[in-house]
């Protein structure tokens, strides 16, 4: 019984990781329509996708700018919100927390339409700024959750002790709270960078001519089967998996308990 269940868990993991593995394998495979048996080894798809004049470079540049900016803003807002939740009680706090956590539960396609319409009113549609704004809305809840988890491990008397020893609130923040939260802050940054780097619905609606990588992939997808996607996809997988792995390891590492 136990063996059968574990085999089943194995099958679930195979299903979950099959497309990722397949994409990496196909990216080195010469066949345009990969099947079994596999064709020969090739770097052709990488050479085509990442040729010097390929539009994908522009997309990677845009994605890099957007994810760094969105991750920075998300992490700042997420930290401020988590600290507020940790330290203060106030009227309508439940509503405040709901507002902080709600955005990822709204379907992206709806958010995409709402963002497109609203950012057009503000004149931000079609700009990278517009995508950053939208991705910060999506990322802040994740950053908040990650930081809040870390803060819940902090002894509330620690900050009070710093005040008693003469530190101002700002001083205690700088010398006690921030250092304690640093792993979570870096973790939140990586995680929200991954969220932004992979987000395609809002980016597609809002981006206009300033495409990010997922939008570029989406547009190639609308054409025919094109193994270039596997080559680009492999790079994208590696990037986001690295970011999410670092984010998780930082959270798992048993930090000094205070």
Partner 1 sequence: MSGNSSLYKYTWRLPLLIWQAAFFVVPLIFLVVMSFWLVKNYRMQPDFVLKNWDKMFSRGYFWDAYWLTLGRAALASVIVSLIAFPASFALAFKVSDTTRRWAIFFLIIPFFTSYLVRVYAWQVILAEQGVINALFGTMGIGPVTMLNSGFGAMIGYLTLTLPLVVILQTFSLAAVDRNLIEAAWNLGCGRARTILSVIVPSAKIGLILGAVFCFILSFGDFVAPYYLGGSKPPTLSILIIDTTKSGQQWPRAAVVAICMIATLFTVAFAAIALAYGKPRK
108-167 residues in contact with partner 1 (CB under 8 A) are 108-111, 113-119, 121, 133-134, 136-137, 140, 144
Q: Which stretch binds partner 1 (CB under 8 A): 44-52, 149-157, 178-186, 224-232?
A: 224-232
How many residues sit in the footprint of partner 1 (CB under 8 A)?
A: 85
Q: Considering the rule CB under 8 A, would residue 176 count as an interface residue with partner 1?
A: no
Three-class secondary structure of residue 41 per DSSP = strand
Interface with partner 1 (CB under 8 A), residue from 198, 207, 210, 212? 198
Per-residue binding string, partner 1, 13-52, x by CB under 8 A, is x-xxxxxx-xx--x------xxxx----------------
Q: Among residues 122 and 258, whose Cβ is nearest to partner 1?
A: 122
Interface with partner 1 (CB under 8 A), residue from 158, 160, 225, 258? 225
Residue 138 and residue 195: Cα distance in Å, rounded?
Answer: 8
Q: Considering the rule CB under 8 A, would residue 99 count as an interface residue with partner 1?
A: yes
User: Residue 41 pairs with which residues in a beta bridge?
Assistant: 29
Q: Is 130 exposed, middle or buried (0-12, 13-18, 19+ CB in 10 A)?
A: buried
Show the DSSP H helices in the chain as ranges. Answer: 2-27, 44-49, 56-87, 93-101, 108-122, 128-151, 156-164, 169-172, 178-198, 201-207, 213-221, 228-252
Shortest spacing between CB 149 and partner 1, in angstroms: 13
Residue 28 and residue 133: Cα distance in Å, rounded?
Answer: 37
Quick one: which of 124, 131, 100, 246 has its CA closest to 198?
Answer: 131
Q: Which stretch binds partner 1 (CB under 8 A): 12-20, 45-53, 57-65, 146-154?
A: 12-20
Shortest spacing between CB 250 and partner 1, in angstroms: 12
Cis peptide before 97 (omega within 30 of 0): no
Q: Considering the rule CB under 8 A, would residue 106 count as an interface residue with partner 1?
A: yes
Considering only residues 58-97, where is the footprint of partner 1 by CB under 8 A?
A: 73, 76-77, 80-81, 83-84, 87-88, 90, 96
């Amino acid at each position: 019984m136990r063996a059968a269940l574990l085999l089943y868990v194995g099958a679930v993991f195979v299903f979950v990781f099959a497309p990722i593995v397949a994409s990496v394998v196909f990216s080195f495979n010469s066949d345009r329509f990969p099947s079994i048996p596999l064709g020969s080894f090739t770097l052709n798809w990488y050479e085509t996708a990442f040729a010097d004049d390929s539009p994908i470079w522009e997309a990677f540049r845009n994605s890099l700018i957007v994810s760094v900016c969105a991750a920075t803003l998300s992490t700042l807002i997420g930290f401020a919100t988590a600290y507020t939740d940790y330290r203060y009680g106030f009227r309508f706090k439940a509503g405040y927390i709901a507002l902080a956590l709600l955005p990822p539960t709204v379907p992206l396609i709806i958010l995409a339409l709402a963002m497109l319409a609203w950012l057009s009113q503000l004149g931000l549609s079609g700009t990278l700024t517009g995508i950053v704004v939208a991705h910060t809305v999506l990322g802040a809840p994740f950053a908040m959750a990650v930081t809040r988890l870390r803060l819940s491990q902090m002894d509330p008397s620690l900050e009070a002790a710093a005040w008693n020893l003469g530190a101002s609130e700002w001083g205690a923040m700088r010398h006690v709270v921030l250092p304690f939260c640093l792993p979570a802050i870096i973790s939140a940054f990586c995680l929200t960078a991954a969220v932004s780097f992979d987000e395609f619905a809002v980016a597609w609606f809002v981006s206009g001519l300033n495409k990010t990588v997922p939008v570029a992939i989406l547009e190639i997808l609308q054409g025919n089967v094109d193994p270039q996607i596997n080559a680009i996809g492999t790079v994208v997988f590696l990037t986001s998996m690295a970011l999410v792995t670092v984010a998780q390891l930082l959270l798992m590492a048993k930090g000094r308990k205070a």
